[in-house]
Structure 1
Amino acid sequence: MNERPGHARLDGDTPTMRLLALLEVIAAKDQLVTLQGLVEETGLPKPTVHRMLQQLEAAGMLQRDSDGRQYGTGARLRRLAENLLLNDTLHGARHTVLRQLVEEIGESCNLTALSGSEVLYLDRVETAAPLRFYLHPGSRVPVHCSASGKLFLAQMTPTQRRRLLAHAPLMQYTPRTLVEIDALEAEIEHVSHVGYAFDNEEFLPGLFCIAMLVPSPTGRSNMGIAIQAPIMRMTEHNALDSLPALRRAVDALAAIEAENAGLPAPA
């Protein structure tokens, strides 16, 4: 298959490998793609790209937007990505960092990632305290009323946030849930400035959470650490006492991710 010079190259000796290469091009984008856009980017003939898109859509790896002309990642591809995050070989090293953080601060801790318009719990270590909230790995929480979700939103441009939140209505889970865009944007601006985020009974009554992102050596992060506790043990005031331990855990995870990628750890 010949691509014109100056275009994205779809490497692969077989049709299957070229399909995977096209999928990589699409998955690397933060917006929907069109047939014509991919033709221009790859330099491939329009009928060829159309056939490849049909094959990926039929396999559940891509899905068309409501207008039928734009393509985004499909449910099967998202499940594949989530399963890799949940079950990869780094799990043991990450889990050790999480367990050490729980031992130090005495509260439940989660490892989180953004999945679509929700926050996915990749891993969790529970506190030994008798009063706790049970949220197992694989649980999902809304992006707009979770501490990790606010951090993931803060990395996006306003346009990217609007696009994401347009498909994820701001549901009111508790009286404290931020459901007005202006109020949420103000909160996100504050989160961007301080580098951590709170969930102060915004998703579940009686639950407080503080979170930080794990810096990525390759750019935007898709991993966070969140500490959760009942409000009788953690409030906005004393949550800040856990920041030094949280930062140490974040740095430890950043070093693990960088080592796995063969890159220097983020400064």
Structure 2
Amino acid sequence: MTSALRSSARPSLRRLPDSGPDLGNSLKETPMVRLLVLLELIARKDAPFTLQNLVQDTQWPKPSLHRMLAQLEASGLLQRDLKGRHYSTGQRLTRLAENVLLNSTTRAARHRVLRLLVDQAGESCNLTSFSAGEVLYLDRVETAAPLRFYLHSGSRVPAHCSATGKLFLSQMTPSQRQKLWDAGPLERFTDRTLVDIDRLDEEIAKVRGQGFAIDDEEFLPGLLCIGVLVPSLDTKDNKTNMGIALQAPKVRFSLERAMQCLPLLENAAQALSRINQSASNDEDELL
């Protein structure tokens, strides 16, 4: 690490807004900790950012931040746009985040919540997050019913035609969603897939207002899915990157039946939120 990062004139490692626990004076001189704090701040950003943005957020010396960003970019944790001014998370950092979610120490506790929901509702359920514009399956519990659709942990599905995907999209600003739409035409998977942007925006607004979402044969023919977000207690804007959904063949899981299961789904989401909050509190105590 460079001598600039070892300088005794560096500012204190102050607590960043909503960035996690204060790491304390005993750790503030450690260059590795400074990199981790910077990554933690970057992970909370929902749009590309500049070096000057980080200078304003951290009040750290601009040359030091520039060198830290260069290290993170060289390692694949960050990437820059074509003009070279804006940074965003790199593929390596995205994979790291996905692996943490897929193999979290709270996975067993969360899996028990999914198992209970399947026992109560009688249908398969999955736990998801939003990653690189798609819905990532973090965990899944299958029903014992012989007729079912199989999707394993680690599977990815498009956001625009999945229940929790539409919920994740509903948390984004119109400009953030537009960047996704500009990436290319939306793929039509069935006759019911929404690919018209105006109609999809109307659906997303409806989802935001009602607090749940339905996938009615929009991704796979004959499949109906209902989903809700897992509430986050750690962010001021209540944005979350975790959703839970029930899905089953329409021959036995009608829209009416799905709505009957909504309270069970919401109870499971609250239980998952408490697990996440408990894990966060435990980490704070360790620090």
Output the TM-score relative to the length of structure 1: 0.90
- Give the percent of matched residue pairs that are identical in Structure 1 and Structure 2: 58
Q: CA deviation at 1:242?
A: 1.1
2:20 matched residue in structure 1: none
In the alignment, is the contact (CA less than 8 A) between 2:13 and 2:34 conserved in 1? Answer: no
Distance 2:92 2:212 in 1: 32
Number of aligned pairs?
263
SS of residue matched to 2:109: helix
2:111 is equivalent to residue 95 of structure 1: yes
2:220 matched residue in structure 1: 204
In the alignment, is the contact (CA less than 8 A) between 1:8 and 1:43 conserved in 2? Answer: no
1:191 matched residue in structure 2: 207
- Code of the residue aligned with 2:240 in structure 1: it is S
1:28 matched residue in structure 2: 44
Distance 2:242 2:82 in 1: 30
Deviations 1:75-131 (A, max 9, x none): 111111111111111111111110111111111100111112011111000111111
Deviations 1:16-50 (A, max 9, x none): 22222222222221111112332343344443322
1:86 matched residue in structure 2: 102
1:163-202 equivalent positions in 2, closer than 5 A:
163-167=179-183, 169-202=185-218
2:90 matched residue in structure 1: 74
1:155-166 equivalent positions in 2, closer than 5 A:
155-166=171-182
Q: 1:226 is matched with which residue: 242, 245, 251?
A: 245
2:75 is equivalent to residue 59 of structure 1: yes
1:22–1:135 distance in 2 versus 1, CA, 3 Å: same
Distance 1:131 1:171 in 2: 26
In the alignment, is the contact (CA less than 8 A) between 2:126 and 2:138 conserved in 1? Answer: yes
2:53 is equivalent to residue 37 of structure 1: yes
In the alignment, is the contact (CA less than 8 A) between 1:117 and 1:165 conserved in 2? Answer: no
- Code of the residue aligned with 1:110 in structure 2: it is N
Structure 1 spans left out of the alignment, 5+ residues? none
2:123 is equivalent to residue 107 of structure 1: yes
1:211–1:47 distance in 2 versus 1, CA, 3 Å: same
Deviations 1:128-157 (A, max 9, x none): 111111100011111111000111111222
RMSD across aligned positions (CA): 2.4
Q: 1:256 is matched with which residue: 269, 272, 275?
A: 275
Q: CA deviation at 1:7?
A: 10
Output the TM-score relative to the length of structure 2: 0.84
Q: 1:240 is matched with which residue: 256, 259, 264?
A: 259
